[in-house]
């Protein structure tokens, strides 16, 4: 399917809304509202009004039935040429990064010259569904051919149980456990302390606050709905304040708390990717190149594995294919779904036993220098609108690499529901 030699894929621009805690600044907005607005903002900033791109790819995790064909509908209102194709993808928290990889692959193969990867999510507008009883009764009424049949179907609505709504739950269908419960089990298995998790969370807030104060996000974050910064950011928090919070998933012995976890969040992000030739022809900068991607999944129902440990497998595979070592990177972006997930992943890579038995390596993959990890803050401080997190991380890392100069590399690892992970390498 190649249309010529593989091409380098440039990250040209990125934009996101400030992220907002659930039921705050964006409480009345929908996925469509936020994604349309961030796409329009990116189109305006890059001068692409009326331009036909190769495609726009993205999605949302928390979707209503009305959100079908969401990305295409948002693209039609973005200012791009209406002939720009668009489609939805969903890979839980890896959605945004997976969208980047999909667009990049087509650019590399010469199938398209440029495209946008995007994502949005709102937990403020979560899809509360009618009960299965009511759904079946309404469908029966709609399909009835006679008034008698309609009445018989309608009588089923007299059952009070029909009016009990189905509330979305944060639980894995195969285990019935929430992500936090799974993460707590894994933290216990790896012996990750509360103090270590709180320290990583504090660093996330401090790094994000410093980046905002230095103007780093001035061209990456749009002012939106009265926000100029992520409203979960707590620059004045301390370890002492964090230590007062109870365990979120095990109140007596739990080490995971609201302070060292990412909060329920609303927001949207978008990334413009292109061939070098396309970008230069339009006078657009090349921030960095997306040079590799890898996905992995683990059998998290097997108690030996953790639900959010897919990155521990995906990254070593990606490094092996590229002939790289874990220490070869200038920046590391490991998604902070929970501080414990980051620390468990690092512990796995530092473990001779894990790397030999699970990865087939001769010994430990290695350690990461902490001053290169999530240096502009991550999901604990910024928030985590599921499908938008990948775009936030790609945009942040691409700019950090651009400012660092040529010959720099950055590693991304994003864990996702279902025991999955999406990872990538960016470089200048």
Rounded Cα distance between 8 and 31, Å, is 32
Looking at residue 132, its pLDDT comes to 84
Looking at residue 98, its pLDDT comes to 98
pLDDT tens digits along 18-53: 999 999 999 999 999 999 999 999 999 999 999 999
Catalytic residue among 74, 118, 344, 415: 415
Candidates 169, 201, 208, 177; CA nearest to 340 is 201
CA dist 152 → 109, 131, 148, 155 (Å): 58, 18, 6, 5
Q: Give the angle subtended at the CA of 346 by the CAs of 342 and 349, to the nearest 5°.
A: 145
Average pLDDT over residues 286-295: 98
The answer to whether residues 183 and 340 touch, using CB atoms and an 8 Å cutoff, is yes
Looking at residue 77, its pLDDT comes to 98
Candidates 389, 268, 372; CA nearest to 328 is 372
Average pLDDT over residues 288-299: 97
Looking at residue 209, its pLDDT comes to 98
What's the CATH class of domain 179-214+247-260+292-422? Answer: alpha beta
Residue 252 confidence (pLDDT) above 90 = no
Mean pLDDT of the chain: 95
Q: How would residue 303 be classed by pLDDT, with cut points 50, 70 and 90?
A: confident
Phi and psi at residue 168, to the nearest 5° = -60, 140
- In sequence order, the β-bridge partners of residue 91 are 93
CA dist 328 → 315, 325, 332, 411, 422 (Å): 13, 5, 10, 9, 19
- Would residue 344 show up in a list of annotated catalytic residues for this protein? no
Q: How would residue 135 be classed by pLDDT, with cut points 50, 70 and 90?
A: confident
CA dist 163 → 69, 131, 158, 243, 416 (Å): 29, 7, 9, 42, 33
Looking at residue 113, its pLDDT comes to 98
Which residues have a Cβ under 8 Å from the Cβ of 162 and sit 6 or more positions away?
A: 131, 133, 134, 137, 156
pTM (2 d.p.):
0.94
Paired tokens of 117? 């990867």
Q: How would residue 127 be classed by pLDDT, with cut points 50, 70 and 90?
A: confident
Looking at residue 164, its pLDDT comes to 82
Residue 325 confidence (pLDDT) above 90 = yes
Q: How would residue 187 be classed by pLDDT, with cut points 50, 70 and 90?
A: very high
Looking at residue 152, its pLDDT comes to 87
Pairing state of beta strands 265-275 and 420-427?
unpaired
Candidates 221, 225, 258, 275; CA nearest to 107 is 275
Q: In the structure, how many helices (H) and strands (E) does the chain have?
A: 14, 10
Q: Give the angle subtended at the CA of 61 by the CAs of 58 and 66, to the nearest 5°.
A: 85
Given the structure tokens 């995906």, which residue do they identify?
314
The CB density around residue 99, as the number of other CB atoms within 10 Å, is: 34
CA dihedral for 169, 171, 177, 183, sign (positive or negative): negative
Catalytic residue among 93, 118, 344, 355: 93
- Would residue 355 show up in a list of annotated catalytic residues for this protein? no
Average pLDDT over residues 254-266: 97
Given the structure tokens 């495609």, which residue do they identify?
55
- In sequence order, the β-bridge partners of residue 217 are none
Looking at residue 392, its pLDDT comes to 98
- Would residue 74 show up in a list of annotated catalytic residues for this protein? no
Rounded Cα distance between 139 and 150, Å, is 10
Residue 342 confidence (pLDDT) above 90 = yes
pLDDT tens digits along 154-178: 888 878 888 888 777 778 999 999 9
Residue 128 confidence (pLDDT) above 90 = no
Paired tokens of 395? 């945009």
Average pLDDT over residues 57-86: 96
- In sequence order, the β-bridge partners of residue 412 are 333, 424
Residue 305 confidence (pLDDT) above 90 = no
Pairing state of beta strands 55-59 and 86-88?
parallel
Looking at residue 313, its pLDDT comes to 98
Pairing state of beta strands 265-275 and 9-16?
antiparallel
Percent of all residues in the chain with a pLDDT value above 70, rounded to a whole number: 100
Residue 3 confidence (pLDDT) above 80 = no
CA dihedral for 97, 101, 103, 107, sign (positive or negative): positive
Domain with CATH 3.40.47.10 in the chain: 9-127+265-281, 179-214+247-260+292-422
Residue 302 confidence (pLDDT) above 90 = no
Paired tokens of 427? 């470089």
Query: Range with the lowest mean pLDDT among 4-13, 38-47, 380-389?
Result: 4-13
CATH 3.40.47.10 holds for 9-127+265-281: yes
The CB density around residue 305, as the number of other CB atoms within 10 Å, is: 20
């Amino acid at each position: 399917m190649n249309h010529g030699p593989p091409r380098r894929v440039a990250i040209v621009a990125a934009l996101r809304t400030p992220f907002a805690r659930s039921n705050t600044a964006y409480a009345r907005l929908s996925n469509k509202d936020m994604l349309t607005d961030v796409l329009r903002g990116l189109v305006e900033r890059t001068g692409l009004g009326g331009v036909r791109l190769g495609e726009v790819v993205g999605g949302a995790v928390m979707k209503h039935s009305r959100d079908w064909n969401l990305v295409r509908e948002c693209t039609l209102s973005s200012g791009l040429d209406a002939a720009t194709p668009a489609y939805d993808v969903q890979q839980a928290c890896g959605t945004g990064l997976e969208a980047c990889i999909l667009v990049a692959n087509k650019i590399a193969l010469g199938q398209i010259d440029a495209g946008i990867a995007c994502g949005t999510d709102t937990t403020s507008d979560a899809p509360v569904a009618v009960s299965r009883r009511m759904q079946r009764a309404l469908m029966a009424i709609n399909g009835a051919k006679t008034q008698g049949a309609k009445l018989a179907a309608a009588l089923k609505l007299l059952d009070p149980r029909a009016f009990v709504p189905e509330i979305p739950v944060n639980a894995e269908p195969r285990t019935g456990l929430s992500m936090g419960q799974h993460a707590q089990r894994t933290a216990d298995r790896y012996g990750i302390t509360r103090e270590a998790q709180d320290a990583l969370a504090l660093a996330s807030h401090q790094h994000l606050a410093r980046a905002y104060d230095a103007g780093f996000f001035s061209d990456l974050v749009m002012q939106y709905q009265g926000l100029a910064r992520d409203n979960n950011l707590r620059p004045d928090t301390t370890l002492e304040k964090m230590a007062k919070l109870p365990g979120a998933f095990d109140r007596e012995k739990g080490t995971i708390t609201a302070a060292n976890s990412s909060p329920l969040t609303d927001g949207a992000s978008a990334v413009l990717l292109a061939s070098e030739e396309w970008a230069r022809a339009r006078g657009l900068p090349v921030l960095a190149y997306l040079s590799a991607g890898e996905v992995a999944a683990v059998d998290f129902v097997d108690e030996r594995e953790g639900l959010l440990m897919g990155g521990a497998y995906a990254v070593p595979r990606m490094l092996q294919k590229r002939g790289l070592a874990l220490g070869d990177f200038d920046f590391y972006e490991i998604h902070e779904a929970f501080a414990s997930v980051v620390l468990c992943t690092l512990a796995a890579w530092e473990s001779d036993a894990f790397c030999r038995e699970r990865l087939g390596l001769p010994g430990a993959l290695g350690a990461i220098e902490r001053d290169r990890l999530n240096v502009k803050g991550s999901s604990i401080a910024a928030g985590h609108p599921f499908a938008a997190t990948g775009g936030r991380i790609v945009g942040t890392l691409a700019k950090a690499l651009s400012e660092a100069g040529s010959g720099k590399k950055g590693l991304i690892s994003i864990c996702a529901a279902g025991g999955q992970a999406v990872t990538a390498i960016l470089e200048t």
